[in-house]
Structure 1
Amino acid sequence: MSSRRTAAIAAALAASSLIAGGIGGAATASAQTDQLSTDGSGRVIAVEPTTPVAAPQGASTAGAAQSHTARLARQFGLPVGELVLSEVRQLPGGSIAKLQQRIGGVPVFGAQIVQDLDGSGALLAAVGKTSQRSEGGFPADSTAAKAKAGKAAVDAVAKKDSTAKALRADAAENYWYDASLGTDGTSATAVPAYFVPVHGADPEDKWTVVVRAETNQVLTVWGEARHATNRVVCDAKRKIVDLDTATLADIRCGTGQAFGVSRAEGQAAAATADVNKVYDYFGSAQSFYSTYTGYDLTANIGANYNDGRGKALRGTVRMCEISTGNDGLRHTQCPWANAFWDGEQMAFGEGVTTLDITGHELTHGVTQHVNGLKGGYAQAINEGMSDVFGKFIAIKANDPNATGANRWLLGVGSSIGQVRDMKNPANSGEGPGPDRVNGKYWVGPDGDEHINAGVVGKVDYLITDGDTFNGQTVRGLGENKSIALWWKVENLLRSSATFKDLGNALNTACTTNARTGVAGTTTADCTQVANAVKATQLLQNA
């Protein structure tokens, strides 16, 4: 079963009863021996039953997940709101089921509990975090309040990025927002908020601004652009795109779009090397996800522009650009030294077309659809997950830029050179990054997300290949077990995950993969994963 719900699952989800608020943190007697992990404030963030908790005989996956919900509500604590079963997804060895905390029918951003179930629906583990209290309410006149929030959001982005042009706010969405869900510190309070998308003239200028609903106070701002079978590749032919005024439509690839099709699925090679490389790289990424995770990349993240090409992995190559720099002057880049996932498709400058970079950007699309990591430390984990899978895609395709000394370097062979050294993050081409939480080069939750991504790359290197680091000796699990581990982690993380959540997810994923025999994972392997987690200090409070 794919991540898209079948009619039966959708019906089961729709019929799911709510687990009401007012449930405290005390566990039932049957759950008192479960292993619990907590954050810095004592909130439960992971539960591992001593033995799998059976589901009712013959229950569907959704029904099994629903049967565990009351137990988990007591263990994680649910003083306010309710838990609603929002998604189920089949994985090797079983499935995951996501519970979303809602208050008055409105979701609490990042407040999720993810159940890890075996093939019978038995509960193997659960990870997540819930908000413990709330205050305030949404204004009665939502139209006026959202208009004010939109103006506040645009003003906040203009203050954050003075080079952004033609800013506009799109329709706001209602959420409850608890800032502490994205940290490991003191529990805070969920408040009613509008999540306002803001776009600029440059297709890369995309932000989400969180505005408190009653007061119009801007609570936080984060960027959304990510710096990508049915394949469609277009050649911009070095056309200069004015990123001060361009929209997403100005870089779209397809018949009748901004850039015409140079090579589509099943067609012969084009005359332009970049077109053929990206076409091949899209195919390698599709094959990797299908073979090692069962995830259909094209079906889940492909774009359909209604041009007769259907849903496809799309990329525009050899783009050039002109834009206003921080000095206030207009600058042209041709070739343009960049590549990014814009939420719909890929865009590449000339020569910025290695397999691992392409896999990295496409994985941003996967993360967008699987767990929605965004804001604070979750931004850095998002970058790190793209590094992990981008590199695995290249390694499993026997890419020459992912062998020997280049095995853990991201971007070798591109026009911009290596951008990340996953084995030794301090040597990363984009600038030094940390190799452990709270270590040298570590930055706070509002720092450049590419910096702390170094920790994710380091723990991936240790788990896959092994090494002695920071007082821990790790025996590598090899590629296949590591890929299975990281795919489970991708599915366990919630949208505002912290690095401590990542450490817990790695340990939990290994334990449950060992229980269900995924990729031949053993309990001895999980000792090595735990050593890698300890070496990179992932369980420290950041």
Structure 2
Amino acid sequence: MSPLYARHKRTTLAIATAVAAGALLSTGLTTTASAQPTTHRPAAAPAALSATAHASLMQKAQDDAATTAQSIGLGAKEKLVVKDVVKDVDGTVHTRYERTYAGLPVLGGDLVVHTAESGRTEGVTKATKAAIKVASLTPRITPAKAAQQAVSAARTLGSAKSSTDGARKVIWAANGTPVLAYETIVGGLQDDGTPNQLHVITDAATGKKLFEYQGIENATGTGKTLYSGTVSLTTTQSGSSYNLTDASRGGHKTYNLARKTSGTGTLVSNSTNTFGTGTASTSSSDQTAAADAAYGAQETWDYYKNVFGRSGIKNDGKAAYSRVHYGSSYVNAFWDDSCFCMTYGDGQGNADPLTSLDVAGHEMTHGVTANTAGLDYSGESGGLNEATSDILGGVGVEFYANNAKDPGDYLIGEKININGDGTPLRYMDKPSKDGGSADSWSSSVGNLDVHYSSGVANHFFYLLSEGSGAKTVNGVSYDSPTSNGSKVTGIGRDKALQIWYKALTTYFTSTTDYKAARAGTLSAAKDLYGSGSTEYNTVAAAWSAVNVS
């Protein structure tokens, strides 16, 4: 799970949004906001697959997993478990696997096998190059010791839990030599009210803490929204009432938690097919936030389907769900993969719901990342995780929606006034303008909060899309510098998005750092546009401009 903001002195996270929306539908059928035309995708771009076709590819890959493991040189104790399959327009298949060793999950052992239409294996992308082998599967420390350490770590985040929510033996292979370890999880709440799901990895031989990461990842009907104006929503009629169930997009539902911090909440419904008033309210029964959340969910679904051929977060045709009015004066939004849902707070004084369009796209994209590359939410991979949500979810969804009340830009959280002075949460053209984010890579970037280390990738994406120097897009002025003084000419946002998505889904793994991200995006650009193409060369130039080589 990952919250939307980085917290300053444990007060606020690094992203938030507020929305007021309404829905109108006269029948049980649904209508939607007008979709953007499906763009032509290159031969190496992902093909649109039906849920049945995707499930069939997944099943075939799992049936062939033993043969695949042998063919790519895995050991006798290793097995492959299919996580996802992407098929390109030209028939190339990219199968993402998790690994087990002697029946234990291998954390950091994920890999992607690239197979030509002919069935020939063209390459393997691995999270670790180390051979998976441990001397003993018998721990030297007790589970209780690992649990005690995990609880102590969680307390530093404000959790009051005195016991763990679960523990298991694993093989830790994310860095260095693989070792037997415990993965221990501690729940409860962090000190700002965000749910806690701290994963602590402990060496089972020495008791040394190897790694920790937070599992919470920061989010015809007519909707009267707070930020996006009056929009079309898809709703469902049930008897004499209407509810925010979008049957046309995998069954997405929007629930009201009414200030609670657990449970699913109550499905948002109304006697008329209009939801929200278009104005902010401090009432926990107000439906404006729900309308905004529903609008964000439908635009994000349509964006991934029409731009990348992806049917839902897991690419299986099934929707997540949204929860609004979480907690009291909760200034954040987050994605939780364990419930497969988005959750939105109402902001300071319960007057500013964090349900704007870019926040909704950001949160749901955490789900896409979790179900593709699975980028670890710590260090440089954590920064890439956050940046992916800003790039694909924040910028991509906002430009796709083409909403006159919230036009596309390279700013994150610009509508929600989280800083209290009208400034955005993050800037892509020069990330350091937020006071904490990195404009370019340095050896210390991995030590920053992931919402700030993300600046390197956000800046890369802006340069790749728009280029360096001064420019005005949709009425917003930008002036992007480069770390090496070079001049970069952008290739356009649409191509940049295709490159990032393909890299995420076919070349990034759980341990990808900035150097590996450069390699992955270059591979994606080569697949899509050719080695030596303008697009390929600009990817290289944009990374060099943020000091990644």
The TM-score, its normalising length taken from structure 2, stands at 0.69
CA distance in 2, matches of 1:437, 1:226: 23
Q: Give the structure 2 partner of residue 340 of structure 1.
A: 334
Once the two structures are superposed, residues 303-328 of structure 1 have per-residue CA deviations (whole angstroms, 9 ceiling, x without a partner) of xxxxxxxx64422224442xxxxxxx
Count residues in correspondence.
427
CA distance in 2, matches of 1:189, 1:289: 37
**Cα displacement (A) at 1:231:** 3.0
Q: Aligned in 2, Cα 1:7/1:407: closer, same or farther, shift over 3 Å?
A: closer
Kept after mapping to 1: 8 A contact 2:446/2:453:
no
Kept after mapping to 1: 8 A contact 2:150/2:200:
yes
Within a 5 Å distance, the mapping from 1:100-249 to structure 2 comes to 100=98, 102-122=100-120, 126-128=124-126, 129-132=128-131, 134-139=133-138, 145-158=142-155, 160-161=156-157, 163-180=158-175, 188-201=176-189, 202-228=193-219, 229=249, 230-236=251-257, 239=259, 241=260, 246=261, 248-249=262-263
Q: Aligned in 2, Cα 1:298/1:497: closer, same or farther, shift over 3 Å?
A: closer
CA distance in 1, matches of 2:209, 2:119: 42
Identify the range of structure 1 (96-105 vs 286-295) with the bigger mean alpha-carbon deviation.
96-105
**Cα displacement (A) at 1:412:** 1.0
The runs of 5 or more residues in structure 2 that have no matched partner are 1-48, 220-248, 278-286, 347-351, 470-481
**Cα displacement (A) at 1:484:** 1.4
CA distance in 2, matches of 1:12, 1:148: 39
Letter in structure 1 aligned against 2:395: K
**Cα displacement (A) at 1:153:** 1.8
Letter in structure 2 aligned against 1:157: A
Kept after mapping to 2: 8 A contact 1:125/1:508:
no
The runs of 5 or more residues in structure 1 that have no matched partner are 19-64, 181-187, 253-257, 303-310, 322-332, 516-520
The TM-score, its normalising length taken from structure 1, stands at 0.70
Within a 5 Å distance, the mapping from 1:449-488 to structure 2 comes to 449-467=450-468, 469=482, 470-488=484-502
Q: Aligned in 2, Cα 1:8/1:510: closer, same or farther, shift over 3 Å?
A: closer
Q: Given the alignment of the two structures, is residue 376 of structure 1 paired with residue 379 of structure 2, yes or no?
A: yes
Q: Give the structure 2 partner of residue 395 of structure 1.
A: 399
Once the two structures are superposed, residues 431-484 of structure 1 have per-residue CA deviations (whole angstroms, 9 ceiling, x without a partner) of 32112110xxx7453431111100111111111112262333332222222221
CA distance in 1, matches of 2:445, 2:162: 27
Kept after mapping to 2: 8 A contact 1:88/1:95:
no
Kept after mapping to 1: 8 A contact 2:58/2:82:
no
CA distance in 2, matches of 1:119, 1:508: 18
CA distance in 2, matches of 1:456, 1:507: 14
Kept after mapping to 2: 8 A contact 1:110/1:497:
no
Q: Aligned in 2, Cα 1:449/1:465: closer, same or farther, shift over 3 Å?
A: same
Paired residue for 2:290, among 251, 275, 283?
275
CA distance in 1, matches of 2:112, 2:51: 14
Kept after mapping to 2: 8 A contact 1:115/1:125:
yes
Please state which structure has a larger fraction of its residues in helix: 1
Letter in structure 1 aligned against 2:440: R
Q: Give the structure 1 partner of residue 55 of structure 2.
A: 6
SS of the counterpart of 1:464?
helix
SS of the counterpart of 2:468?
strand
Once the two structures are superposed, residues 512-532 of structure 1 have per-residue CA deviations (whole angstroms, 9 ceiling, x without a partner) of 1125xxxxx982211111111
Among all aligned residue pairs of Structure 1 and Structure 2, give the percentage whose two residues are the same amino acid: 23
Q: Which is bigger in relative contact order (C-alpha 8 A, separation at least 6)?
A: 2
Aligned Cα RMSD in Å?
Answer: 3.3
Q: Give the structure 2 partner of residue 86 of structure 1.
A: 82
Once the two structures are superposed, residues 313-350 of structure 1 have per-residue CA deviations (whole angstroms, 9 ceiling, x without a partner) of 422224442xxxxxxxxxxx3xx322112333222223
Q: Give the structure 1 partner of residue 479 of structure 2.
A: none
Q: Given the alignment of the two structures, is residue 502 of structure 1 paired with residue 517 of structure 2, yes or no?
A: yes
SS of the counterpart of 2:216?
coil
Kept after mapping to 2: 8 A contact 1:235/1:260:
yes
Letter in structure 1 aligned against 2:295: D
Q: Give the structure 2 partner of residue 60 of structure 1.
A: none
SS of the counterpart of 2:186?
strand
Q: Give the structure 1 partner of residue 354 of structure 2.
A: 352
SS of the counterpart of 2:295?
helix
CA distance in 1, matches of 2:111, 2:162: 35
Q: Aligned in 2, Cα 1:436/1:107: closer, same or farther, shift over 3 Å?
A: same
Q: Aligned in 2, Cα 1:314/1:199: closer, same or farther, shift over 3 Å?
A: same
**Cα displacement (A) at 1:131:** 1.7
Q: Aligned in 2, Cα 1:234/1:269: closer, same or farther, shift over 3 Å?
A: same
Q: Give the structure 2 partner of residue 531 of structure 1.
A: 541
**Cα displacement (A) at 1:105:** 4.1
CA distance in 2, matches of 1:448, 1:207: 15
CA distance in 1, matches of 2:76, 2:69: 19
Letter in structure 2 aligned against 1:409: L
SS of the counterpart of 2:488?
strand
Letter in structure 1 aligned against 2:500: W
CA distance in 1, matches of 2:180, 2:79: 18
SS of the counterpart of 1:475?
coil
Letter in structure 2 aligned against 1:527: N
Letter in structure 1 aligned against 2:163: R
Q: Aligned in 2, Cα 1:88/1:358: closer, same or farther, shift over 3 Å?
A: closer
Identify the range of structure 1 (389-398 vs 125-134) with the bigger mean alpha-carbon deviation.
125-134
Kept after mapping to 2: 8 A contact 1:156/1:218:
no
Kept after mapping to 1: 8 A contact 2:58/2:85:
no
Q: Give the structure 2 partner of residue 50 of structure 1.
A: none
Letter in structure 1 aligned against 2:496: S
CA distance in 1, matches of 2:437, 2:524: 26
CA distance in 2, matches of 1:169, 1:353: 32
CA distance in 1, matches of 2:200, 2:316: 24
Q: Aligned in 2, Cα 1:15/1:319: closer, same or farther, shift over 3 Å?
A: closer
**Cα displacement (A) at 1:396:** 1.4
CA distance in 1, matches of 2:174, 2:544: 26
CA distance in 2, matches of 1:212, 1:219: 6
CA distance in 2, matches of 1:398, 1:451: 28
**Cα displacement (A) at 1:218:** 2.3
SS of the counterpart of 2:150?
helix
CA distance in 2, matches of 1:463, 1:189: 36
Kept after mapping to 2: 8 A contact 1:225/1:342:
yes
Q: Aligned in 2, Cα 1:173/1:444: closer, same or farther, shift over 3 Å?
A: farther
Q: Given the alignment of the two structures, is residue 284 of structure 1 paired with residue 299 of structure 2, yes or no?
A: yes
**Cα displacement (A) at 1:409:** 0.7
Q: Given the alignment of the two structures, is residue 316 of structure 1 paired with residue 323 of structure 2, yes or no?
A: yes
Letter in structure 2 aligned against 1:407: D
Q: Given the alignment of the two structures, is residue 418 of structure 1 paired with residue 420 of structure 2, yes or no?
A: no
Q: Given the alignment of the two structures, is residue 437 of structure 1 paired with residue 437 of structure 2, yes or no?
A: no
Q: Aligned in 2, Cα 1:301/1:418: closer, same or farther, shift over 3 Å?
A: farther
